[in-house]
Amino acid sequence: MKNSTKDNAMNVSFSEWVKSGSPFIWLNAGAVAISIIMVIGLIGFIAAKGLVHFWPAEIVEAEYTLPGNAPAKILGQVTDSEMVSAIQLKAIGLKTENDAIEAKRILLKVGNRDVYGGDFRWVLDHHLTEKNYPETAMAIERREWGNFYGYLDKVYEGHELVADVSQDQAKAWDHFQTLIVRALNIHDSIMEIQKGEIGSINYELERLRLKERSYELDKKLTQERKDELTKERAELNAEYEGHQVELTKLYTDLKRDHFVAKETNGKTVEIHMSEVVRAFRPNAMSGFEKVGHYFDKLGEFLGDDPREANTEGGVFPAIFGTVLMVILMAIMVTPLGVVAAVYLREYAKQGAITNIIRVAVNNLAGVPSIVYGVFGLGFFIYFLGGTIDELFFPEALPSPTFGTSGLLWASITLALLTLPVVIVATEEGLARIPRMIREGSLALGATKWETLIKVILPMASPAMMTGVILAVARAAGEVAPLMLVGVVKLAPSLPLDMNYPYLHLDQKFMHLGFHIYDVGFQSPNVEAARPLVYATALLLVIVIALLNLSAIAIRNHLREKYKALEM
């Protein structure tokens, strides 16, 4: 009896606990906690894999001995490691140490691609003997052929030997670093002239060519206009020649210096200072020097152009293109989505047709993004862009101006893709506004238009911003439609510059999402590209978060501003 009574009490207690809703509270709390842990874990994993790439890993030198082969010296940085089973090694004719069940395999970045044909090499740890970390071992980042690993030997200014490691190693290294800085400054000056002054001149020459062609098509090319165009062209050509003379001198200065380095096997290599991005000796660096190097590399990643098939350098053009496209998309989608939602909620007669439109809008949100890309390619680029070229840019034909993929069509395509999100969010915000507020405004003498503009829309603005936030979050990460309507692997210039009309909507651009795809799946150097995929993915997450936080801040400000109207 006592056990039965106790069981009944427990059943009643459990039933009351379930009816109280506590299990569902705990279930929801657990689901939220798991979601947060998964998000933090994912971001942490990406950050750990990507950010470690910029740290100057130590250079190891060792004897590498394969069974049946003579020992050979190997030099490089350890970038990864894994355990492999004895069965896997046996399949390729190798075995573990002391017949163990598994062995450690490490990935060495040996560089010197122009000599070895590859940057990376997998080796078994027990095949490496006599490991040491020489302080004089250096890593040189080059503009082509990847890293070089070796030892500095001699430094030349022109044909004159100015430093020899055998005589004074510290002096030779300092002189070497001075000449690298000199070469980098000259290279920056060359890039500034080529992309700045000469780029502007070429842009103006192209505008003059199109202007002359336009006069020809309109049969207005008079002798006076010819002379005027010829005079302008001559002035630009004279300016161009002046810059060419300056460039020739800079290139001569850039090619002046070189140095001789030794590989670990004793072979000497001659490298020009113009090929060097930076040189460092990680084994001799202090902790503060390594931190400084880390942030220098991180700054290069955020602020420089890519090089070496996007596996080296920075991603600034991709950051710029992503942010600019998202801003243009938000500018386009917000008024369209708000106007459509206002019409459906405030003006359209509520009935079967309106309900069908709402269902259609909701269904559009589930259409695969690649379908929007195909639509953008067919309608916006081929039809609309081709028509614009025929009407407004006939002088440029057969080369298309807007009849090809570009920033404008990419922004419009993504605006169309995210339009249902903005419509639904705005309409829900309008539906939450009490009817008595509308009636009170009308009773006080305001027209329906005044009520809409001064009362309804301000109160619904937080909901509009919610739609924009969701639109930005989706658009910033889309890649599939952009591959058809505007994004490229490498853009020669930014779509926003100092050349009229400053914002070039017809120009192709780079995008972080496509950059991840290109580096991860199209790169010829997979091992070099892998850490950059993680680093760029983390950067894309941060960019989307910053865009969303900006929109959230605006939404919260509007919510506080119009809170009194809701009360």
Task: Quick: pLDDT tens for 50-62.
Answer: 888 899 999 999 9
Q: Which residues contact 380 (CB under 8 A, 6 or more apart)?
A: 409, 412, 413, 485
Instruction: Give the highest mean pLDDT range of 9-13, 111-115, 381-385, 543-547.
Output: 381-385
Task: Give the pLDDT confidence of 411-449 residue by residue, as tens digits.
Answer: 999 999 999 999 988 988 888 888 888 888 888 888 888
CA angle 247, 250, 255 (to 5 degrees): 125
Percent of the chain with pLDDT over 90: 43
Task: Give the pLDDT confidence of 300-315 residue by residue, as tens digits.
Answer: 999 998 888 788 889 9
- Which residue, 434, 431, 413, is CA-closest to 358? 431
Inter-helix orientation angle 512-521/316-342, to 10°: 130
pLDDT at 227 over 80: yes
pLDDT at 138: 94
Whole-Å CA distances, 4 to 1, 8, 15, 306, 318: 5, 6, 16, 76, 71
pLDDT at 56: 92
Distance CA 512, CA 518 (A): 10
Least confident of 65-69, 137-141, 167-171, 519-523: 65-69
Whole-Å CA distances, 432 to 99, 366, 554: 73, 25, 20
Given a contact cutoff of 8 angstroms between Cβ atoms, the answer to whether 179 and 260 are in contact is no
- Which residue, 294, 305, 296, 313, is CA-closest to 53? 294
Distance CA 149, CA 383 (A): 54
Identify the three-state secondary structure at position 255. coil
Instruction: Specify the amino acid at residue 186.
Output: I
Residue 525 token pair: 């150097």
Distance CA 49, CA 533 (A): 9
Q: What number is the average pLDDT over the span 143-150? A: 90
Q: Which residues contact 158 (CB under 8 A, 6 or more apart)?
A: 256, 257
Task: Give the pLDDT confidence of 267-321 residue by residue, as tens digits.
Answer: 889 999 999 999 999 999 999 999 999 999 999 999 998 888 788 889 999 999 9
Residue 235 backbone dihedrals phi, psi, to 5 degrees: -65, -45
Q: For 47, which DSSP code?
A: H
pLDDT at 470 over 70: yes
Give just the sign of the alpha carbon dihedral 363, 343, 375, 420.
negative
pLDDT at 7: 54
Given a contact cutoff of 8 angstroms between Cβ atoms, the answer to whether 84 and 105 are in contact is yes
Residue 146 token pair: 């990847």
Q: Which ranges constitute the DSSP H helices of 256-364? A: 287-303, 316-342, 352-364
How many Cα atoms occupy the beta-carbon half-sphere of 425 within 13 Å? 22
Given a contact cutoff of 8 angstroms between Cβ atoms, the answer to whether 138 and 246 are in contact is no
Q: What number is the average pLDDT over the span 226-246? A: 93
pLDDT at 247 over 60: yes
CB count in 10 Å sphere of residue 2? 6
Q: Which residues contact 240 (CB under 8 A, 6 or more apart)?
A: 198, 201
Distance CA 157, CA 176 (A): 10
Q: Which residues contact 71 (CB under 8 A, 6 or more apart)?
A: 63, 64, 65, 129
Given a contact cutoff of 8 angstroms between Cβ atoms, the answer to whether 268 and 262 are in contact is yes
DSSP sequence for 360-395 = HHHHHTTS-HHHHHHHIIIIIIIIIIHHHHHHH-GG
Distance CA 245, CA 212 (A): 28
pLDDT at 177: 94
pLDDT at 9: 55
Per DSSP, what are the bridge partners of residue 272?
Answer: 258
pLDDT at 301: 92
Task: Give the pLDDT confidence of 120-130 residue by residue, as tens digits.
Answer: 888 888 888 88
Q: Which run of H or E residues covers position 470?
A: helix 457-477
Distance CA 243, CA 197 (A): 8
pLDDT at 10: 56
Task: Give the pLDDT confidence of 482-509 residue by residue, as tens digits.
Answer: 999 989 988 888 898 888 888 999 999 9
For 198: left if phi > 0, alpha if psi spans -120 to 50, otherwise beta; the answer is alpha
- Cα-atom radius of gyration of the chain, to the nearest Å? 32
pLDDT at 564: 55
pLDDT at 224 over 70: yes
Distance CA 311, CA 328 (A): 29
Task: Give the pLDDT confidence of 200-219 residue by residue, as tens digits.
Answer: 999 999 999 999 999 888 88
pLDDT at 201: 93
Given a contact cutoff of 8 angstroms between Cβ atoms, the answer to whether 161 and 222 are in contact is no
Distance CA 239, CA 243 (A): 6
Distance CA 389, CA 370 (A): 25
With cut-offs at 50, 70 and 90, classify the pLDDT of residue 80. confident
- Which residue, 141, 471, 109, 472, is CA-closest to 281? 141
Residue appearing with tokens 């302080």: 135
Residue 270 token pair: 């001659």
pLDDT at 502: 87
pLDDT at 566: 52
Q: pTM for the whole thing?
A: 0.88
Q: What number is the average pLDDT over the span 89-112? A: 85
pLDDT at 378: 93
CB burial readout 450-461, b (16+ within 10 A) else e:
ebbeebbbebbb
Given a contact cutoff of 8 angstroms between Cβ atoms, the answer to whether 410 and 476 are in contact is no
pLDDT at 283: 93
Distance CA 279, CA 137 (A): 11
pLDDT at 31 over 80: yes
Task: Give the pLDDT confidence of 343-369 residue by residue, as tens digits.
Answer: 888 888 888 888 888 888 888 888 889
Distance CA 380, CA 387 (A): 10
